[in-house]
């Protein structure tokens, strides 16, 4: 999928990453939410003509994975292989995720480079040996501070619980290696100050700044009570802490220590997409690790909110993880990709509701967008034998549509491409679709068609040209969100022979009026959004 044309040689790629996901279980809607957002962002930048690198993958070490594998009577590696091959990779394929690479932390390309990175920190005096005792949450794979724990009730009465997983923490006492994280507080604060956009949204930035201002503790970066991890190179009784291992995927996957040219053309990431639960790892520990090793810092870390069920974060450990297949079976893949970005302001939490999805599908996708496409194709077929007519004598009504398009295209680019405001960018395009529907209602081409005079026919041509040209632009602007649907629309407009493949259409040209030429062969294909079958619930 990556653009690899000569025009990109030597330039740095726009590099987008998702978190690498724990493979203790199959993916649910929450994981897919971040991955779809990253896919839309990278497709958008590809359509801007940029060289793009979109990375996702899996986090396979640590106690959580080890215990899950033990519980299933298989080795951790067997467990990971099975989950990656049978659940994670097939889901991304199903959801049309066009990632350029997929990193697994058990791959030698990763493990060897992680050892080198940690060794180099050790050689620089950034790592020392010490002891630590504290409450640990295996779900988070993180030591917690006593102050953030919750008091357990019911089956957990008398125990302290992790605030995220609502499960008891374990007291751990270990001789470990520590990274001198505490020394990086002032440098991190200075970086946040100089780069106000480094952590987004604003609420996430404030949380991190307050946290760092309180003073950082050194970070335990090794574990010695279990062995499912990458060995500490100078002391093989220890494995590297799973978060240090995992964060380094962003470097090892793009050639750190192995392919200098690729590394320089890709690293650092322009956008790390993360759920808000793992913001501190990415906005505090990761930049400090990079500073300690003299590597450049990422452009921004953008935290998305949580998909909630019954007021709780959707998760497998809370038994609320919903499989994306349950929704795509009913609504289709493109509507699924569209819905969560459309309905939830990126950065905020959002509740999933079947009823809301159903209502938006029907009104915005099927009625506003799908019907517009099929009506226009049907009328060009009926009145002009499927050949798009010249659109002469455009009047003020047509000019208003052209202006509306230019505005929608600008706004979508600014919101999706720059601000990661997916909901706002998609809304700009759907407001334009509403405008075109309103235009047709006012112009009543079905009545104008009865006027057989040359003026009447010219007027009809102008109206249908305006509507078809609007759909041309809509296909380009929605392609990153709904690629299969927009392909169908592109085919139905007969655009490809004149304008080339849809994925090669540039965002910057989308709002330029008059690109679809007269003579294009318009055909009425299958409905873009079929009527939903009842009953809806899975
Ligand atoms: N393995 C670590 C990440 C390492 S990155 C160097 C991890 N994995 S995870 O499988 O628990 O999932 C992480 C991400 O999945 C979250 O940060 C978020 O992006 C996404 N989500 C998981 N559950 C979610 C919701 N309920 N809602 C939205 N996103 C959620 O943490």
CB atoms within 10 A of CB 521: 15
pLDDT band at residue 320 using 50, 70 and 90 as cut-offs: low
Residue that is written with structure tokens 């619930």 in the block? 537
Ramachandran category for residue 110: left, alpha or beta (phi over 0 → left; psi -120 to 50 → alpha): alpha
Among 251, 277, 351, which residue has the most ligand 1 atoms within 8 Å of its CB, making it the best to mutate? 277
The 10s digit of each residue's pLDDT in 257-309 is 999 999 999 999 999 999 999 999 999 999 999 999 999 999 999 999 999 87
pLDDT of residue 317: 65
Our answer on whether the CB atom of 250 is closer than 6 Å to any ligand 1 atom is: no
Which of the 8 DSSP states describes residue 271? E
Q: Can you name the residues that pair with 302 across neighbouring β-strands?
A: 200, 273
Select from 309, 261, 446 the least CA-distant residue to 30: 309
* Residue 417, CA atoms < 13 Å, CB-side half-sphere: 21
165 is catalytic: yes
Q: Can you name the residues that pair with 300 across neighbouring β-strands?
A: 271
Q: Of all protein residues, whose CA lies closest to atom 9 belonging to ligand 1?
A: 21
396 pLDDT exceeds 50?
Answer: yes
Of these residues, 166, 180, 191, 316, which one is catalytic? Answer: 316
Of 110-114, 389-393, 424-428, 493-497, the least confident = 389-393
Say which residue, 418 or 313, is predicted with more confidence. 418
Our answer on whether the CB atom of 34 is closer than 6 Å to any ligand 1 atom is: yes
Q: How far is CA 226 from CA 67, 128, 167, in A?
A: 10, 20, 21
In this prediction the pTM is 0.94
pLDDT of residue 5: 47
pLDDT band at residue 318 using 50, 70 and 90 as cut-offs: low
Among 18, 19, 305, which residue has the most ligand 1 atoms within 8 Å of its CB, making it the best to mutate? 19
80 is catalytic: no
Give all domains of the chain, ordered by start, each with its CATH number: 354-510 (1.10.730.10)
Say which residue, 535 or 338, is predicted with more confidence. 338
Select from 130, 138, 80, 79 the least CA-distant residue to 238: 130
145 pLDDT exceeds 70?
Answer: yes
Mean pLDDT, the chain, whole residue set: 94
300 is catalytic: no
Our answer on whether the CB atom of 22 is closer than 6 Å to any ligand 1 atom is: yes
319 pLDDT exceeds 90?
Answer: no
Alpha carbons 116 and 232: distance in angstroms, whole number? 10
444 CA to centre of own chain: 41
The 10s digit of each residue's pLDDT in 46-63 is 999 999 999 999 999 999
180 is catalytic: no
* pLDDT, average across residues 345-362: 93
Of these residues, 165, 180, 407, 434, which one is catalytic? Answer: 165
Our answer on whether the CB atom of 246 is closer than 6 Å to any ligand 1 atom is: yes
The 10s digit of each residue's pLDDT in 203-221 is 999 999 999 999 999 999 9
Of these residues, 45, 51, 140, 300, which one is catalytic? Answer: 140
pLDDT of residue 177: 96
């Amino acid at each position: 999928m990556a653009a690899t044309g000569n025009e990109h040689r030597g330039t740095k790629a726009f590099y987008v990453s998702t978190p690498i996901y724990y493979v203790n279980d199959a993916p649910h809607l929450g994981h897919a939410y971040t991955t779809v957002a990253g896919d839309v962002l990278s497709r958008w930048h590809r359509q801007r003509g940029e060289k793009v690198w979109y990375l996702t993958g899996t986090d396979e070490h640590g106690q959580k994975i080890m215990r899950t594998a033990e519980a299933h009577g298989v080795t951790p590696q067997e467990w990971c292989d099975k989950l990656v091959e049978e659940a994670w990779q097939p889901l991304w394929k199903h959801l049309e995720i066009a990632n350029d690479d997929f990193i697994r932390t058990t791959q030698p390309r990763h493990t060897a480079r992680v050892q080198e990175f940690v060794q180099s920190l050790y050689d620089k005096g950034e790592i020392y040996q010490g002891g630590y005792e504290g409450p640990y949450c295996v779900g988070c794979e993180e030591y917690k501070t006593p102050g953030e724990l919750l008091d357990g009730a019911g089956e957990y009465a008398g125990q302290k619980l992790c605030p995220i997983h609502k499960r008891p923490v374990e007291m751990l006492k270990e001789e470990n290696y520590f990274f001198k994280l505490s020394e990086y507080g002032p440098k991190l604060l200075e970086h946040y100050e100089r780069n106000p956009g480094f952590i987004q949204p604003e609420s996430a930035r404030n949380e991190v700044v307050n946290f760092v201002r309180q003073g950082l503790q050194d970070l335990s970066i090794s574990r010695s009570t279990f062995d499912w991890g990458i060995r500490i190179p100078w002391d093989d009784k220890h494995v590297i802490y799973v978060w240090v291992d995992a964060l380094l995927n962003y470097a090892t996957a793009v050639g750190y220590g192995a392919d200098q040219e690729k590394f320089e053309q890709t690293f650092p990431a322009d956008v790390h997409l993360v759920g808000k639960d793992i913001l501190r790892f990415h906005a505090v520990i990761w930049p400090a690790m990079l500073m300690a090793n003299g590597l450049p810092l990422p452009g921004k870390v953008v935290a998305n909110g949580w998909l909630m069920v019954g007021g709780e974060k959707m998760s497998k450990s809370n038994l609320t993880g919903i499989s994306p297949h349950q929704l795509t079976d009913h609504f289709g893949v493109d509507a699924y990709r569209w819905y969560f970005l459309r309905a939830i302001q990126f950065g905020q939490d959002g509740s999933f509701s079947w009823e809301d999805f159903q209502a938006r599908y029907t009104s915005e996708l099927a009625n506003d967008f799908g019907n517009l496409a099929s009506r226009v194709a049907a009328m060009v077929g009926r009145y002009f034998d499927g050949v798009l007519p010249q659109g002469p004598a455009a009047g003020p009504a047509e000019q208003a549509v052209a202006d509306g398009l230019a505005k929608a295209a600008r706004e979508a680019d600014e919101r999706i491409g720059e601000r990661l405001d997916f909901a706002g960018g998609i809304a700009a395009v759907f407001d334009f679709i509403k405008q075109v529907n309103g235009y047709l209602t006012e112009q009543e081409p079905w009545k104008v068609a009865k006027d057989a005079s040359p003026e009447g026919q010219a007027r009809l041509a102008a109206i249908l040209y305006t509507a078809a040209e609007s759909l041309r632009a809509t296909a380009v602007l929605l392609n990153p969100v709904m690629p299969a649907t927009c392909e169908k629309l592109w085919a139905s407009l007969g655009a490809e022979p004149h304008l080339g493949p849809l994925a090669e259409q540039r965002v910057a040209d989308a709002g330029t009026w008059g690109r679809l030429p007269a003579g294009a062969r318009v055909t009425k294909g299958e409905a873009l959004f079929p009527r939903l079958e009842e009953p809806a619930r899975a």
